[in-house]
């Protein structure tokens, strides 16, 4: 057994012991209504998996043959039960009765809502996208959310692969941009480990559409050796909303491990980041994304990692390495190794409730 195996086993046992004494998820009062922190579905993976038990795994919205699953408002109800101020939904309903029911709930609960409506892949796909935009607008959506890429350093094997992917992303957004401008509903593109902050900022400048901007993920660009404050400041002019999370980091033989951790246990200055975004827009909305999973491996000591990064300044790398050394986690990162679904669910609830309480007490969310 390796040192990591020992640490992982010890961590799992400690977490299970901690979770065993916790009650089931309970609502935490939300005095800010729709301006309070909402929930992203990725923060509730085990919960959503338990709701899907016995059903096929969900499709990948970035797959060219993607077909949205039937709409359910269960996740919106679950976020409300936790006292959250909103929810990011996987898709929009198509049934008129479901549309009316959800619209009524959004108003009754005073919650914000956003939707992941897959962007058009070609001209023929625009009417389908526009129908989704119109439905989202009717329900009262704050924005649309889109995560168009996977992890660049894993998915792209050559620089040409990356450039082709980026060109395709830009074509899709170019098709979507006139539609969202027409209906005056904002489209927020998440920095989803596909583009550096500088690349995304340059794209937003070129696009010049007031209804297309950024959904800022607080931690994703750490995998690009970016200081989170640099990412925020670079993308700030275009930010419509955010996935709020805290991050833990530890070295491993091929690079570093990166993991979401409960608020206050990581190295991000959450208070400062929230304050900066609220100064930009007092109505800025934040959705919790505390993903309970295995730490991600970011293999910066391998040649393959750098294949699509040809212009990363040496000063940025040096600054990041110094930051990693200074802010490395003092304990093992969260893990779900060896946990069955019920145990993962309890662990996830524990982490999410801890984040919600921290946000209420320390972040004004």
pLDDT at 67: 55
Among 287, 222, 188, 297, CA closest to 252: 297
Task: Locate 5 and state its tokens.
Answer: 């195996």
Task: Locate 108 and state its tokens.
Answer: 């009754």
Task: Locate 273 and state its tokens.
Answer: 């980041």
pLDDT at 66: 53
Q: Report, as an integer, the average pLDDT of 273-296.
A: 97
Q: Do 29 and 354 meet the contact criterion of CB atoms below 8 Å apart?
A: no
CA atoms within 13 A on the CB side of 256: 20
Q: Is 183 exposed, middle or buried (0-12, 13-18, 19+ CB in 10 A)?
A: middle
Contacts of 105 (CB under 8 A, 6+ apart): 73, 76, 77, 80, 111
Q: How far from 36 is each of 30, 278, 319, CA to CA, in Å?
A: 7, 12, 34
Give the tens place of pLDDT for each residue, 29-77.
787 888 999 999 999 999 988 877 655 445 555 565 555 556 789 999 9
pLDDT at 7: 31
pLDDT at 29: 78
Please check the confidence at residue 85 and state whether its pLDDT lies above 70: yes
Among 236, 285, 237, CA closest to 88: 285
Higher confidence at residue 322 or residue 63? 322
Please check the confidence at residue 112 and state whether its pLDDT lies above 50: yes
pLDDT at 32: 85
Task: Compute φ and ψ for 216, nearest 5 degrees.
Answer: -75, 115
CA atoms of 347 and 339, how far apart (whole Å) = 9
Task: Report the chain's mean pLDDT, rounded to a whole number.
Answer: 89
DSSP code at position 261 = E
Buried b (16+ CB within 10 A) or exposed e, 318-339: eebeebbeeeebeebbbbbeeb
CATH top-level class of 31-54+66-363: alpha beta
pLDDT at 23: 39
Which residue is associated with the tokens 């669910």? 345
CA atoms of 332 and 267, how far apart (whole Å) = 14
Task: Classify the C-alpha dihedral 296-222-169-154 as positive or negative.
Answer: negative
Give the long-range contacts of residues 291-294, CB within 8 A, separation 24 or more: 291/42, 291/43, 291/45, 291/245, 291/260, 292/45, 292/46, 292/260, 292/334, 292/336, 292/344, 292/347, 292/348, 292/351, 293/45, 293/259, 293/260, 293/334, 293/336, 294/259, 294/335, 294/336, 294/337
């Amino acid at each position: 057994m390796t040192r990591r195996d020992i640490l992982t086993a010890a961590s799992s046992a400690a977490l299970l012991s901690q979770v065993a004494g916790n009650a089931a998820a309970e609502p935490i009062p939300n005095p800010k209504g729709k301006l309070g922190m909402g929930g992203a579905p990725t923060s509730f993976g085990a919960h959503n998996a338990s709701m899907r038990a016995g059903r096929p795994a969900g499709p990948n919205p970035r797959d060219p043959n993607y077909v949205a699953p039937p709409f359910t408002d269960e996740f919106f109800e679950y976020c409300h039960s936790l006292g959250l101020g909103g929810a990011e939904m996987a898709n929009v309903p198509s049934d008129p009765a479901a549309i009316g029911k959800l619209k009524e709930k959004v108003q009754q609960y005073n919650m914000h809502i956003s939707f992941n409506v897959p962007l058009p892949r070609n001209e023929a796909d625009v009417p389908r996208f526009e129908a989704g935009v119109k439905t989202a607008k009717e329900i009262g959506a704050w924005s649309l959310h889109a995560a168009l890429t996977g992890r660049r350093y894993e998915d792209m094997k050559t620089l040409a692969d990356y450039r082709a992917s980026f060109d395709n992303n830009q074509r899709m957004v170019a098709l979507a941009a006139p539609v969202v401008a027409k209906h005056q509903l904002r489209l927020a593109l998440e920095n989803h480990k596909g583009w550096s902050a500088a690349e995304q900022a340059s794209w937003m400048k070129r696009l010049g559409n007031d209804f297309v901007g950024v959904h800022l993920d607080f931690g994703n660009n750490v995998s690009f050796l970016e200081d989170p404050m640099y990412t925020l400041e670079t993308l700030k002019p275009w930010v419509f909303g955010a996935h709020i999370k805290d991050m833990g980091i530890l070295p491993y033989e091929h690079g570093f491990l990166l993991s979401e951790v409960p608020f206050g246990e990581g190295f991000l200055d959450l208070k400062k980041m929230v304050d900066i975004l609220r100064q930009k827009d007092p109505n800025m909305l934040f959705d919790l994304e505390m993903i309970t999973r295995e730490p991600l491996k970011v293999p910066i000591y391998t040649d393959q990692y750098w294949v699509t990064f040809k212009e990363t300044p040496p000063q940025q790398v040096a600054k990041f390495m110094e930051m990693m050394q200074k802010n490395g986690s003092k304990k093992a990162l969260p893990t779900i190794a060896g946990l069955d679904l019920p145990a993962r669910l309890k662990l996830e609830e524990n982490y999410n409730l801890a984040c919600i309480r921290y946000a209420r007490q320390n972040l004004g969310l």
